[in-house]
Amino acid sequence: MSSSKRGRVSAVEAIRGISMMGVIGIHIGAEYLANPSPNIHLVALFDIGTRFSVPIFFFISAFGLFYGQSPSAPFSYRDFLVRRGRAVMIPYLVWSLFYLIHDAYAYGVGFPPLTALPGILFFGNAKYQLYFMVILIWFYLLMPLWRILLARMTLPLLAVILLVQIGFDYWSSFSTAFNLYVYGLPEGTLLRALLFYRLNYWVMHYVFIFLLGGYVALHFDAFRAWMERNTARLYALGIVSLGALLAWYYKLILVDGYTPLEGIYTAHQLSPLGIFYTIGATLALFAFFTRLGTENALGRAFQLLGKHSYFIYLAHPVAITYLLMMIHGAGYVLTAPIALSMYMATLLLTLLAAVIVRKIGERIPVVNELTIGLKPKK
């Protein structure tokens, strides 16, 4: 566990890029489900194959925090929170305010009462993608705990945490008694809000994948050697885990009579097969992008997407909003070809916007600091 600075891991940047593509897919898929007769295979592409996207971001975040570091080295919690606050808290507040103002105008819903703002910000409800930043902030606030755990982490202990994770996520997602209790609580009460929006801020849903990212970072040389010896097996694990989740999704729809919406709300990333897929996809993608490298067009494309993934993640709902307005305004339903075209348009438009904003930020540093938390270069 060296505390010295180490070379950049290009695979992590590429994983960030493909994960951001998956997040866009999930949100385009949500709009596509408004089609009265959605293609269940396209729904599977948008909303099942992408299910690794959110949890793998926590893996990447932990990897970045612990790569080249030692949990036993001197640590200033205050300095850490100041740095992370600049990178996450400032953009979170800026983008939350932006979406509250934007949606008040675009959808005619009006700006929420000031008394509602604390709850909106606490739960990440200013826009549907911002809850991720709330969970990430909680991970940062609990950094001393993660350092203690990772300083003592072993593979058997990590396996135990995985089993606990599966049990906890299953209870949170599928416990009939618990969910009936939550829905039975009086509307407008604090307890109901705290439990109803638990997916928006309970880090417990993603502790295993976060600790796995930290563990891989701390033992990266050994992990890389193991990964290179087992690349084919890791590819197979990724394919088998995806196949298992897809098989469950198709069973829910074709055998059990679920609607596509019910299917994706059941076969999600917190289900046991969803967790299995997250692990399989994480390891397979790490192996794939390590082998792909950056010396070819595909590798450079994913590096570009990864570099700008933060802004794209924050801004893509804007592109989705206005593309939908154009599509519906022209009298079209979101069919499969239109949905796929909308996906590509969203990705390309937000990538272009990200490049432009970063260029502006090079001239006016405060732009980058407010939008993506990028500290101005001295």
Q: What is the mean pLDDT of the chain?
A: 95
Please give the model's pTM, rounded to 2 decimal places: 0.95
- DSSP letter (8 states) at residue 289: H
pLDDT tens track for 100-130: 999 999 999 999 999 999 999 999 999 999 9
Encoding tokens for residue 236?
A: 């197979």
pLDDT band of 373, cuts 50, 70, 90: confident
272 closest CA partner among 176, 168, 195: 168
Instruction: Check if the beta carbon of residue 211 is closer than 8 Å to that of residue 62.
Output: yes
pLDDT tens track for 265-276: 999 999 999 999
Q: What count of Cα atoms within 13 Å lies in the side-chain half-sphere of residue 136?
A: 24
- How far is residue 185's CA from residue 321's CA, in Å, rounded to a whole number? 33
pLDDT band of 227, cuts 50, 70, 90: very high
Buried b (16+ CB within 10 A) or exposed e, 274-300: bbbbbbbbbbbbbbbbbebeeeeeebe
Q: Which class for 358: exposed (0-12), middle (13-18), buried (19 or more C-beta within 10 A)?
A: middle
Integer distance in angstroms from the first to the last C-alpha of the chain?
30
- How far is residue 320's CA from residue 143's CA, in Å, rounded to a whole number? 35
pLDDT tens track for 149-191: 999 999 999 999 999 999 999 999 999 999 999 999 999 999 9
Cβ neighbours for 19, distance < 8 A, ≥ 6 positions apart: 52, 53, 54, 56, 57, 60, 309
Instruction: Check if the beta carbon of residue 320 is closer than 8 Å to that of residue 347.
Output: no
- How far is residue 99's CA from residue 130's CA, in Å, rounded to a whole number? 10
- How far is residue 82's CA from residue 338's CA, in Å, rounded to a whole number? 44
Domain ranges in the chain are 19-372
Instruction: Check if the beta carbon of residue 185 is closer than 8 Å to that of residue 198.
Output: no
